[in-house]
Amino acid sequence: MRIDHNFTGTTIIQGDTLRVLKAFPDDLFGGVITDPPYASGAADQNAKQKSTAAKYSSAKTNNLLPDFEGDSKDQRSWTHWAAEWLAEVRRCAKEGAPICVFIDWRQLPSLTDALQWAGWIWRGTLVWDKTNSRPQRGRFRQQAEFVVWGSNGHMPSDRKAPVLPGVFRQSMPAMTKRIHQTEKPLQVMRDMVRIVEPGGIVLDPFAGAGTTVLAAKLEGYPAVGIELSPHYAAAALNRVETEGNVPQAVAA
Ligand SMILES: C[S@@+](CC[C@H](N)C(=O)[O-])C[C@H]1O[C@@H](n2cnc3c(N)ncnc32)[C@H](O)[C@@H]1O
């Protein structure tokens, strides 16, 4: 795998985030946008040990994607681990850098605890409205996931970033088109990375199929993605190289 260490372009590094991050200097990244394994998607500890395909994929799909890493921790170990990587990414983030972390309703309280234990200022919770979900009679639809966001200390009000929405409304990529079981919509990630000031390096410590890194590249940011699974690290690199060079339509 090719690794570009100059951080002016896009880089995908295969490895364990906690180990890889230790090699980075302090104050490097302009923002952290990520979607860690939730270790959720199950009603009890036994169900949590199932494959990620069984937890997160539709049984009807013909597109069988490989399982991904790190999704079977119990509650306390997940929270402890989250605080650990959140502290390490904060060390590598610039003063005032924003962080956005995807999560579901079950892990939301643990994530907001871990974020603050790690020293980030928690600034709010965004909603990702997936617009649909499996209907269950007599229940509310589980059609939203959340994005906990914050900053590494003080965030000046004159930052060079636009006003961004608090709700992102976009369905999941079609199962037949996905290259990762829990792939996020590219347009949502393109809108979200704009919270980082121009020129800031975007870090995604759980890159999966590289959606954040690709979005950052398409929006003109340098970016680094870290992914433990060799399969997904290779898929992310290939995707960023092939889809990241498509000329973008310019409004007349
Ligand atoms: C929820 S997925 C990210 C999906 C991504 N947002 C996308 O759109 O493709 C989380 C990813 O983190 C990876 N992962 C889990 N533990 C990790 C670790 N310790 N270090 C690096 N990557 C890890 C998993 O293999 C998985 O691909």
Query: Which residue's CA lies nearest to atom 5 of ligand 1?
Result: 208
The pLDDT of residue 61: 58
Q: Which two tokens stand for residue 152?
A: 């590494």
Of 186, 222, 184, 182, the closest CA to residue 203 belongs to 222
**Residue-level pLDDT at 73:** 86
**In Å, how far are 83, 121, 152, 231 from 113, measured between CA atoms?**
8, 11, 15, 32
> What DSSP designation does 87 have?
H
CA of 143 to the centre of ligand 1 (A): 22
Helices (H), 143-219: 186-192, 211-218
pLDDT computed for residue 56 by the predictor? 77
Q: Is 52 close to ligand 1, i.e. is its CB under 6 Å away?
A: no
Kindly give the confidence (pLDDT) of every residue in the chain, 252 residues in length, as a single tens digit, with 9 standing for 90 and above. 344 455 779 999 999 999 999 999 999 999 999 999 999 866 666 776 778 887 777 555 556 888 887 888 888 999 999 999 999 999 999 999 999 999 999 999 999 999 999 999 999 999 999 998 888 899 999 999 999 999 999 999 999 999 999 999 999 999 899 999 999 999 999 999 999 999 999 999 999 999 999 999 999 999 999 999 999 999 999 999 999 986 555 544
Please name the residue ranges forming H helices in the chain: 17-22, 45-48, 52-56, 75-92, 108-117, 186-192, 211-218, 230-243
The confidence score (pLDDT) of residue 249 equals 52
Closest atom of ligand 1 to 184 CA is 8
Domain covering 10-39+71-243, topology = Rossmann fold (3.40.50)
What's residue 10's pLDDT?
94
Q: How far apart are CA 25 and CA 235, in angstroms?
A: 27
Taking each helix axis from N to C end, the angle separating 108-117 and 75-92, rounded to the nearest 10 degrees, works out to 40
Q: Is 182 in the pocket of ligand 1 (CB under 6 A)?
A: yes
